[in-house]
Amino acid sequence: MKLSLIPVGIVLGLWSALINAVSYDNAFNVNKELIHYNYYKFSHSNSFEVIDSSNIIGYNLLNQFININVTSGDINWLIQDTTEFNQFVIIGSNVYLYSDFSHTINIVELKTGILIRSIEVIQPITKVINFFNKGLLVVQSDGTLHFINDRRQSQIHLDYSIKSEFVYQQLNGFMYIITYNGHLIKLNSNYQIVNQFDLSANKLSQFKDFILITDSNQIYKLVESGETFDVKSISSSFQNVKIISPTYFYNTESNNKVNIYTIKNNKLESVWDNEFKGSEITNVELTPFALSDYLIVTKANGSKQVFDLTDLLIIDDPYSIKEIKVKSDLLSIPGTVDFIISSSDDIPHLITINDALDGAIYDINDGSLVQTIVHSTSQFLPIDASTVSLIVDKPSSKQAINQVNHLLNEGTNIILWNWVKRTYRHLGELGKYFTSFVSSSSTPTGSEDDIGDLEDDFGFVKYVIFYDQISKALLAINSKNGEVEWKSYTKDIPQKLLQINGNIIVVSNDSVLELDPLDGIVLSTKPITGGKEVIKVQAGEEESYIVETEQSFESISSYTQDIYLFKSNEDKIEGHKLIKGSTKSIATWNFIPQQDETIITAIAKDVESSTVSVGIPLANKSILYKYLNPNVIAVVTKSHDQVLKIYLIDGITGNLLSVFEHTNNEIIDFTSINIIIDDNWVIYTYFIKSPRLEQRINVIDLFDSNKSIKKSGNDLISSFTHNSTINSYSKKSFAFPERIINLSSTKSEYGITLKSILVLTESGYLMEIPKYILNSRRIDNRPLVPDDYISDFKVSPYEPIINLNTLAILNHKHKLILNQNEKGTILIKPTHFESTSVLCYLNKFNYYCGLVQPSKSFDTLGHGFERVKLLGTIVALFAVYIVTKPFVSKKRLNDQWLYS
């Protein structure tokens, strides 16, 4: 009996291990990446146009020209930095972007946003007209007329210049333009002049279907007979009348009545009117669509009525006007604009939408609501993402916390009950596993709920916290599904976010708030006075924040060990010490660079970064110890003659550890410098402007030769209390194919995983460069020998240029949007899998989260993991065990006979 219980236990144990082994694909779902592009809102209500329910295009407040899917709110495409344009015209399958008084017209494809052609005109553009959907007629500031499309650009030679305002109509294949002073120009559809004529007309405001309306509301008819034109008066001054057709007109009367007129006996006569009770009319608009004409009436409270004039224009019967009441109780949205579009089944739809993409779609036949559109809520605008942002582990739910407390508080008599519960849970998981196992053959990813709990357990879900300028609140966004987990309204705009003892610290100009990461509820508020900056200080287990004042650092509570800090400005670095038990620091050392140098930046090691390897074992069995002083400060300076210098200083003593000086052969763009210091290395990047444009990455690896000399000592990690200098280092310079905007390095839970360097490039890619590529010990003066492979991890001959194929692009599917002012921030937080960290990027334009695995996934199961084979093997081994067991025990018995 006992015989088979043990293997059964083993098999069950293995099974439950299998259940818990999270497959990498499952753990972060099918979408291992999350991207959210922001569009904020259109510049104003005239800056966008709806083409159909999948395409709304226009200029937004982020200086982009965008095409958004109205139904889903997703961005179809966007063009960055369109500050030079503010107008557009849709012509056929292209969009022409231009602006008044600019010299450039860009033609992009409507479907893809791809630039087809950029056209320069000599004189500034004053007006453009869509010419029979073939191209643009462009009036330039000198009064010349040009035809421009994606293939052609030609001037139309006129007898008169079109210097001031003009009106035009396009009818029966001809275009008629009448200038302010009565010159008429008739063009055919090949933009050739057919006729030019001098009319004696007053200043015109409307021209449609051969009807002319002057600025003073007089109505005329234009009569064309052969080569000559004539104007005939129809009616004398008539208030604010607008043209529907050659025979029908409309106007609005005292904000609550709409009239339709026709011409009788050379006079306008009302044939239809509609009085609107209650709310005032704010807008009446004639919108032609296909072969129909609709009059859309908008009232002050946002309700809309649509009148279908199609039959009136055909059968001349005012009673044929159809009134469509749209279900308007949803429409208290301000600033909406109306468009009529054709739906997929060719029913005309009325879409009424505002600049923030809130609105509704109605069926125009019966006014029924097809869909409400609410996209403004999905938009957010992080304020200064580089300081006011934070990534934290998803907090445990209140329920889980209660459970833990409950268990701790219960006595021992509960143990059996817990055992039952745990067994029950495990059996449940077993069942769940089998069902997911069965279903996974048809749907390889399994269902989301099954793995939801597991993900939480393994720390794949993080919250990204930032201040949103639209809702004026702190938001916590789930890194896996992009959902807003909580919103916390703060009185002041935060200047900085920190995480201390699990809680979120919100630093604003005069106060410090402490928030619960679970729900954003304010736990405490403390005033700060005279503080320049608030920084997080971690000393062993103790964590708290320290306020940097003009002279010193002040902590809110005292520490049980000495804390070393530094201040820096352009001229000097000042070391401070906060002696244990005290709350105010004292200045200890000063570092002043040479006279002509200014300090560009000074950084210290990230306390959250950990390393377990203290040295590199060499082929000759000695160890090359890393210089792992946790208090190193790297200082970058620029001298008068533009020379870059890196100083390494000991943060405790202020001693100069080493200096790395560049020569002045290269002209460096000092605004492009990024530097990180981690493990035993310093990596900095800079762009050089001369002798050629090039992005450089420099690597300095620091070693502790003193330690290596007296390697017999049992103090493995030096305490760095002595005044050491760095006397052993190696450095190399690399060229990188793209301009680097920001730099970071990966972190993992225990620091076992290899480090990778993350670079954010100008073109919007986050790339991972393994540290073994950026290795200063790569050999450049001789061929590699077998010992070299033993002495360093993945060593390769030195190549000055980093090839793109050695890099991993983390966001290969989703390019990030950034520019000079919106460089954004890279946020990294390890998961509970040593191999994997969550990586997020955030700025005004977009928000991205994904995973980074510098040593690939050594502790998670890949998609190709063969559970069936493993299970089969276990079962087979078990069978063999059962079968051989009697033989083995018999053999043992025999052995005992033999030896006893």
Looking at the Cβ atoms of 331 and 381, the one nearer to ligand NAG is 331
Contact stretch for ligand NAG (CB under 6 A) within 64-72, 83-91, 154-162, 354-362: 64-72
Q: What is the chain's Cα-based Rg?
A: 37
* Strand pairing category for 34-37 and 48-52: unpaired
Looking at the Cβ atoms of 191 and 362, the one nearer to ligand NAG is 362
Residue choice 653, 748, 811, 853 for contact with ligand NAG (CB under 6 A): 653
Helices 2-20 and 415-440 meet at what angle, rounded to 10? 70
Contact stretch for ligand NAG (CB under 6 A) within 18-26, 195-203, 301-309, 354-362: 301-309
Residue choice 722, 885, 890, 891 for contact with ligand NAG (CB under 6 A): 722
CB neighbours of residue 533 within 10 Å? 13
Rounded to the nearest whole angstrom, what is the least distance from the CB of residue 881 to ligand NAG in the complex?
49
Looking at the Cβ atoms of 277 and 692, the one nearer to ligand NAG is 277
Geometric angle at alpha carbon 447, from 446 and 451, rounded to 5°:
90
Looking at the Cβ atoms of 140 and 791, the one nearer to ligand NAG is 791
Measure the CA–CA gap between 267 and 284, rounded to whole angstroms: 23
Sign of CA dihedral 409, 415, 417, 420: positive
Contact stretch for ligand NAG (CB under 6 A) within 568-576, 675-683, 820-828, 865-873: 820-828
Residue choice 16, 31, 43, 54 for contact with ligand NAG (CB under 6 A): 54
Looking at the Cβ atoms of 71 and 598, the one nearer to ligand NAG is 71
**499 and 507 Cβ atoms separated by less than 8 Å:** no
Told to check if 278 binds ligand NAG by CB under 6 A, we report yes
Told to check if 255 binds ligand NAG by CB under 6 A, we report no
Looking at the Cβ atoms of 135 and 764, the one nearer to ligand NAG is 764
Told to check if 63 binds ligand NAG by CB under 6 A, we report no
Told to check if 492 binds ligand NAG by CB under 6 A, we report yes
Give SS3 for 417: helix
Told to check if 620 binds ligand NAG by CB under 6 A, we report yes
**696 and 685 Cβ atoms separated by less than 8 Å:** yes
Residue choice 590, 723, 733, 889 for contact with ligand NAG (CB under 6 A): 723
Closest-CB residue for ligand NAG?
278
**524 and 513 Cβ atoms separated by less than 8 Å:** yes
Measure the CA–CA gap between 774 and 140, rounded to whole angstroms: 56
Told to check if 274 binds ligand NAG by CB under 6 A, we report no
Looking at the Cβ atoms of 597 and 792, the one nearer to ligand NAG is 792
Told to check if 277 binds ligand NAG by CB under 6 A, we report yes
Told to check if 336 binds ligand NAG by CB under 6 A, we report no
Largest CA distance in the chain: 136
**What's the start-to-end Cα distance of the chain, in Å?**
27
Structure token digits, residue 193: 């002049």
Q: Which of 819, 825, 817, 826 is nearest to 845 (CA)?
A: 817
**Which residues are within 8 A (CB) of 820 and not within 5 positions of it... i.e. 6 or more apart?**
none
Contact stretch for ligand NAG (CB under 6 A) within 67-75, 92-100, 267-275, 518-526: 67-75
Structure token digits, residue 566: 């530094």
Rounded to the nearest whole angstrom, what is the least distance from the CB of residue 610 to ligand NAG in the complex?
19
Q: What is the DSSP letter of 865?
A: -
Residues within window 302-321 making contact with ligand NAG, judged by CB under 6 A: 302-303
Told to check if 379 binds ligand NAG by CB under 6 A, we report no
Measure the CA–CA gap between 647 and 593, rounded to whole angstroms: 9
Contact stretch for ligand NAG (CB under 6 A) within 135-143, 209-217, 314-322, 819-827: 819-827
Rounded to the nearest whole angstrom, what is the least distance from the CB of residue 81 to ligand NAG in the complex?
18
Told to check if 639 binds ligand NAG by CB under 6 A, we report no
Rounded to the nearest whole angstrom, what is the least distance from the CB of residue 599 to ligand NAG in the complex?
16
Residues within window 699-718 making contact with ligand NAG, judged by CB under 6 A: 706
Residue choice 46, 72, 377, 538 for contact with ligand NAG (CB under 6 A): 72
Exposed/middle/buried for residue 525 (C-beta within 10 Å: 0-12, 13-18, 19+)? exposed
Residue choice 10, 618, 643, 874 for contact with ligand NAG (CB under 6 A): 618
Rounded to the nearest whole angstrom, what is the least distance from the CB of residue 725 to ligand NAG in the complex?
6
Rounded to the nearest whole angstrom, what is the least distance from the CB of residue 899 to ligand NAG in the complex?
50
**106 and 128 Cβ atoms separated by less than 8 Å:** no
Geometric angle at alpha carbon 108, from 102 and 111, rounded to 5°:
150
Looking at the Cβ atoms of 709 and 804, the one nearer to ligand NAG is 709
Measure the CA–CA gap between 236 and 267, rounded to whole angstroms: 8
Structure token digits, residue 348: 């005309």
The residue ranges of DSSP E strands in 343-420, in sequence order, are: 348-353, 358-363, 369-374, 389-393
Q: What is the DSSP letter of 824?
A: -
**527 and 519 Cβ atoms separated by less than 8 Å:** no
Rounded to the nearest whole angstrom, what is the least distance from the CB of residue 655 to ligand NAG in the complex?
6
Contact stretch for ligand NAG (CB under 6 A) within 313-321, 656-664, 822-830, 857-865: 822-830
Rounded to the nearest whole angstrom, what is the least distance from the CB of residue 288 to ligand NAG in the complex?
25
| Residues facing 704 on adjacent strands | none
Residues within window 500-559 making contact with ligand NAG, judged by CB under 6 A: 509
Told to check if 71 binds ligand NAG by CB under 6 A, we report yes
* Strand pairing category for 681-690 and 694-703: antiparallel
Measure the CA–CA gap between 395 and 269, rounded to whole angstroms: 73
Told to check if 819 binds ligand NAG by CB under 6 A, we report no
Sign of CA dihedral 249, 255, 258, 262: negative
Told to check if 396 binds ligand NAG by CB under 6 A, we report no
Residue choice 301, 561, 590, 884 for contact with ligand NAG (CB under 6 A): 301
Rounded to the nearest whole angstrom, what is the least distance from the CB of residue 556 to ligand NAG in the complex?
20
Torsion of CA 360, 364, 369, 372, to 10 degrees: -10
Residue choice 45, 69, 342, 478 for contact with ligand NAG (CB under 6 A): 69
Looking at the Cβ atoms of 76 and 396, the one nearer to ligand NAG is 76
Rounded to the nearest whole angstrom, what is the least distance from the CB of residue 810 to ligand NAG in the complex?
15
Told to check if 491 binds ligand NAG by CB under 6 A, we report no
Rounded to the nearest whole angstrom, what is the least distance from the CB of residue 117 to ligand NAG in the complex?
24
Contact stretch for ligand NAG (CB under 6 A) within 241-249, 325-333, 546-554, 602-610: 325-333
Rounded to the nearest whole angstrom, what is the least distance from the CB of residue 190 to ligand NAG in the complex?
34
Rounded to the nearest whole angstrom, what is the least distance from the CB of residue 602 to ligand NAG in the complex?
13
**602 and 675 Cβ atoms separated by less than 8 Å:** no
Told to check if 418 binds ligand NAG by CB under 6 A, we report no
The residue ranges of DSSP E strands in 542-593, in sequence order, are: 542-549, 553-555, 563-568, 573-578, 586-591
648-652: list long-range contacts, CB under 8 Å, 24+ apart. Answer: 648/682, 648/702, 648/726, 649/573, 649/591, 650/720, 650/723, 650/724, 651/564, 651/566, 651/575, 651/604, 652/564, 652/575, 652/720
Told to check if 622 binds ligand NAG by CB under 6 A, we report yes
Told to check if 154 binds ligand NAG by CB under 6 A, we report no
Told to check if 784 binds ligand NAG by CB under 6 A, we report no
**Contact residues for ligand NAG, defined by CB under 6 A:** 54, 69, 71-72, 277-279, 299, 301-303, 328-329, 331-332, 386, 492-493, 509, 618, 620, 622, 653, 655, 674, 706, 721-723, 727, 742, 823, 825-826
